[in-house]
Chain A
Amino acid sequence: MTLIGLVDCNSFYVSCERVFQPRLVGRPVGVLSNNDGCVIALSNELKALDITMGMPAFKLQHLVGQGRIRLLSSNYELYGDMSQRVQAVLGEFSAGVEPYSIDEMFVRFDGFEPGQLLEHARQLHHKVRQYTGIPVCVGVAPTRTLAKLANRAAKKIPAYGGVCVLRAESVETRALLRRFELGDLWGVGRRLVERLAVLGIRTGWDLAQADPRWIRRQFSVTVERTALELRGTPCIEMNDVDEARQRIMTSRSFGKLTDNLGEIREAIRQHGQRGAEKLRSQGSLARAVLVFLKTNPFRNDLPQYSSSLAVELPRPTDDSREILSAAGQALQRIYRKGYRYQKGGVMLLDLIDADRQQLSLLDTPQSTADRQRSQSLMATMDELNRRMGRGTVKLGTPSPGAAWHLRCNHLTQRYSTRWEELPAVKAR
């Protein structure tokens, strides 16, 4: 029997910084967006001070001045490398590791007894922490939706110790489905919660008990799938799960193993372009782009390599040109000759709503005229591609990005990827 695990890194960006700066452990720490505009990642200690995602940095300056909190500029190169390391450790525990975002990965477990699996998952939890320094929570269940629930339980309920393995329709699963709100479930947005409530469906358990066909008639196939998954019937694949809308991922295996940079670049461009289209269709802007490449782990006869790199965008954007430019730079840095690659992809990270104007004012400025030009160009491109088929209009070689960093006063070192920025260790 196949079970699905969801591994989620706790306060990932802050945890990466803490690995190399032990003084940050236990203190309120936040990571800032491009140009040090606003908070995009928080430690639990910072959340406890009622500071929230998206809060502008200037409003927190007095706390920084008093030494009560620490705010750091985002260091995507470090986060990308640490994410890669976490994935590599997971690869020792599972033959199927699928990144879902920079800080969440799905892992497949085949042929385990439930009792064994709990032990295996605890080992995994421990090893990731030991090997990389990153604390994680692990949720395992027969379906992705239940794995997400298990992960949430592992994170929120201290008794689990960071690891929760659920079986379908067990007493424990039932209790958790009753305990967590519908909105906490995967693929259940706020509007859907309200519509379900009207029909008397208030908890995950209610949804699991409802007749799936009825759910389908009332709502959609997507909601039906969620209901089935809550009962333990797997019916959601990796690529179906964009509903969370926190990140966009586009990836696919190359048709054949290839070491041709030209082919790989073209594939990454397509993924980047597709990702940017999704971004625009859901009305979001991305702050960073992550590109990954890997060889086929099952071909023991071939040299193995996998790498990823996250690159910060000059400003939150949905402009394909800026996204492709960043993706191109990242690919250039991770591509190595002499390997035959199986798969590559593009992730768009740290999404925000495009209509939250105050954020764009705090980020690297872009003139209104510039923004409108970009918007109408992208809209025209999307419209042509929609009407005449995907790929009708493609972008050529993008112009290199303009000013990448106007202001990042609290930038930490790229501790694990640059010789000149290694952590110093004291001999005294």
Chain B
Amino acid sequence: MPPEHFTPAHPDPATQALPYPLALGRAGLSGFPSPAQDYEGRTLDLNERLVKHPAATFFMTVTGDSMVSLGIHESDLLLVDRSIDPRPGHILVAMVDGEITVKRYELLGNQPHLCSGNPRYAPIPLRELDCQVWGVVRAVIHEYPV
């Protein structure tokens, strides 16, 4: 596809360099401070974006490949937030048989189950004794070799 057919992500491209998203200064002649002044000198902070609850947020490293179909790869970084109450569809960290594992929380026949992204592993009913939720995965960070 020739480049002119791409739709620009930004219809009116920003002219500022990235880390300082908005312009400084005052708006027109009115004398009111520009709302943009609030953003003076601020940088984008991934903590602010991803860590909603610092005291309850932990990081973990993934081993194994059963969640690849759900976008979680070996040695990815999981951002786990224990303050979220798990709902079906969430990716969870759970303790299963004394091991910390990552699973998807699903309702099967109205019963809560922990499922892996790989059909080789059978869903585990969440009511079984040796199975407890540790936290909810809020984000996955996949770093590329660069």
- Give A contacts to B, CB under 8 Å: 20, 22-23, 25, 84-86, 88-89, 130-133, 415-416, 419, 422-428
A22 touches B98 (CB 8 A): yes
A422 touches B55 (CB 8 A): no
A390 to B65, CA, bound (A): 63
Chain A nearest CB: distance from B48 CB in Å?
A: 11
Q: List 21 A-B contacts (CB under 8 A).
A: A20-B100, A89-B55, A131-B82, A131-B83, A133-B82, A416-B58, A422-B59, A422-B60, A422-B61, A423-B61, A424-B61, A424-B100, A425-B60, A425-B61, A425-B78, A426-B64, A427-B72, A427-B74, A427-B102, A427-B116, A427-B117
With A88-B55, A425-B61 given, can you name 4 additional A-B contacts, CB distance below 8 Å? A88-B54, A416-B58, A422-B60, A427-B117
Kindly report which residue of chain A lies nearest to residue B120, judged by CB atoms.
A428
A350 to B116, CA, bound (A): 44
B62 touches A22 (CB 8 A): no
How many of chain B's residues have a CB under 8 angstroms from any CB in A? Answer: 34
A22 touches B83 (CB 8 A): no
Chain A nearest CB: distance from B45 CB in Å?
A: 11
- Give B contacts to A, CB under 8 Å: 53-56, 58-68, 72, 74, 77-78, 82-83, 93, 95, 98-102, 116-118, 121, 132, 134
A286 to B83, CA, bound (A): 35
Kindly report which residue of chain A lies nearest to residue B133, judged by CB atoms.
A130
Q: Which residues of B contact A426 (CB under 8 A)?
A: 63-64, 99-102
In-complex Cβ contact of A427 among B58, B95, B98, B101 (8 A): B101
Q: Which of A25, A88, A131 has the most CB of B within 10 A?
A: A131
Chain B nearest CB: distance from A52 CB in Å?
A: 28
A197 to B2, CA, bound (A): 95
Q: Which residues of A contact B72 (CB under 8 A)?
A: 427
Kindly report which residue of chain A lies nearest to residue B73, judged by CB atoms.
A427
B56 touches A89 (CB 8 A): yes
Q: Which residues of B contact A20 (CB under 8 A)?
A: 100
A427 to B101, CA, bound (A): 6
